[in-house]
Amino acid sequence: MKAALERIEPGFGTSFLYRKFESGITANVPMWHFHPEYEIVFISGGKGKRHIGNHLSFYEDGDLIFLGPNLPHLGFTEELPEKHVEIVVQMKEEFLGRDFLQIPEMFAIKQVFERAKLGLSFSGKIKQEVGKRLVAMGEMSAFDRLIHLVQILNQLAESEEYTILNADSFPVEVNAQDQERMQKIYEYVQFNFQGNIQLEVIAKEINMTIPAFCRYFKKLTQKTFIQFANEYRVAHACRLLAEDDLSIANASYESGFNNLSHFNKQFRAVTGLSPRDYRKNRKKLIKVDNNIASMED
């Protein structure tokens, strides 16, 4: 399976592409891919990984992301067994017209387009409000859908409930050979992170010596291959720690760490928290969210 430029063509009578996927059907193909279009993805529920450029993190209770053009990424729901709806909207920057973003009324939307080039994840009320609007777009006429999308972009532009995902990204306009190599590297980590990851194996896979591979990966991602592999393992551990019935030691083992002390050190380096504090803070967040929900009801 090779990485590829995903070619996106809007349907007849529309200037952007809107797609809705129910549980069990993956919208984002499970490969390292990119496209020149901006992309909004809403996932209504469940937990999973974000893998965008050299950014790797874990989401809970669904996700709402806005990605700029040519940000390489993997699908966000391929490991998502929970029932969910996924909405994908893809558009070129000039989908409203070449100079439309230059008019004064579009200033805020132009700014959020710029921020999206680093990858944005939205949370809190904005995620739920925009998610509902994205789902509702599926039943609208082409004209109403366009007006709705502009309103959604304005909501995202005015919101402060977002996180920049890829602020230290590597240059994303990667050539075809690099795309194919990175696909092989990421697949190797994806299928082997719970075991013994070996530099010599992946270096041989992409026809490089170990020193050349280490230099190549560091140049492309601004991090070492081992650092990247550990970040992938920590992201997986975050998902496991969300389950109350799994101990921290078991989460460490299931994520590919054979030493609990090393796991704690790597987890803190990636998340800024110990595994115990991460789980404790997550429970506090859920309690606060539940209180807010009961007040709104």
DSSP letter, residue 144: H
- Coil/strand/helix, residue 145: helix
Q: Which residue has the tokens 């050349």?
A: 212
Q: Which residues contact 74 (CB under 8 A, 6 or more apart)?
A: 28, 30, 31, 32, 33, 49, 51, 186
133 and 216 co-located in one domain: no
207 and 158 co-located in one domain: no
Q: How far apart are CA 264 and CA 186, in angstroms?
A: 24
Q: Which of 111, 134, 164 is the last residue of a domain?
A: 164
pLDDT at 204: 93
Q: Which of 164, 195, 218 is the last residue of a domain?
A: 164
Q: Rounded to whole angstroms, what are the CA distances from 225 to 54, 81, 162, 203, 221?
A: 11, 29, 28, 11, 9
117 and 256 co-located in one domain: no
∠ CA 169-64-265, rounded to 5°: 50
Residues of the chain falling short of pLDDT 50: 1-5, 7-8, 12, 26-29, 167-173, 285-297
Is there a domain that residue 287 lies in? Answer: no
pLDDT at 42: 95
pLDDT at 11: 53
In contact, 241 and 279? CB cutoff 8 Å? yes
Q: Give the residue numbers spanning the domain of 238.
A: 176-281
Q: How far apart are CA 124 and CA 143, in angstroms?
A: 29
In contact, 165 and 55? CB cutoff 8 Å? yes
In contact, 72 and 169? CB cutoff 8 Å? no
Q: Which of 129, 164, 199 is the last residue of a domain?
A: 164
Query: How many structural domains comprise the chain?
Result: 2
250 φ/ψ angles, rounded to the nearest 5 degrees:
-70, -35
- 99 burial type by CB count under 10 A (0-12 exposed, 13-18 middle, 19+ buried): exposed
138 and 195 co-located in one domain: no
pLDDT at 24: 54
pLDDT at 81: 56
32 and 95 co-located in one domain: yes
pLDDT at 110: 92
